Amino acid sequence: MSRAAQGLLAYAYAHTKSPAFAEKAVGRSFQPGGGYAKPKLLTGPDVLKPAEEAIEVNTKRGSPDGLTTIQTLELCKDHLPTEVQVRPVRQPRGGAANGD
């Protein structure tokens, strides 16, 4: 589902109070990964410190998505989950982090 569809579902819920609209809009915001590209672990000689980064995510895409999420949170605030699954942090290949 696109972020535009998510915003329309949230708007429809605000005007109809039909829980089906809120469940779909809120479900999109809090699904694992949020629909974005999965982060990739960057390592090797060109990287000072190994880190995860979703290279495909950029400002042009992130700004409208962020605004849609804010809209959904406000319009569907009475249908927000109380718990959300959190993705564990991956350790760099070759063992634990060096502690810096």
6 alpha-carbon distance from chain centroid = 13
pLDDT value at 94 more than 70? no
pLDDT for the residue numbered 98: 52
Cα separation of 35 and 61, whole Å? 12
* pLDDT above 70 as % of the chain: 80
pLDDT of residue 36: 56
Q: What is the pLDDT of residues 32-76, one digit of tens each?
A: 555 556 778 888 898 898 888 877 777 887 788 889 889 999 999
| Average per-residue pLDDT for the chain | 80
15 CB-near residues (< 8 Å, 6+ apart) = none
Q: Which residues pair with 51 in a beta bridge?
A: 42
d(CA 91, CA 16): 46
pLDDT for the residue numbered 80:
86
Indicate the residue type of 58.
N
User: What does pTM read for this prediction?
Assistant: 0.60
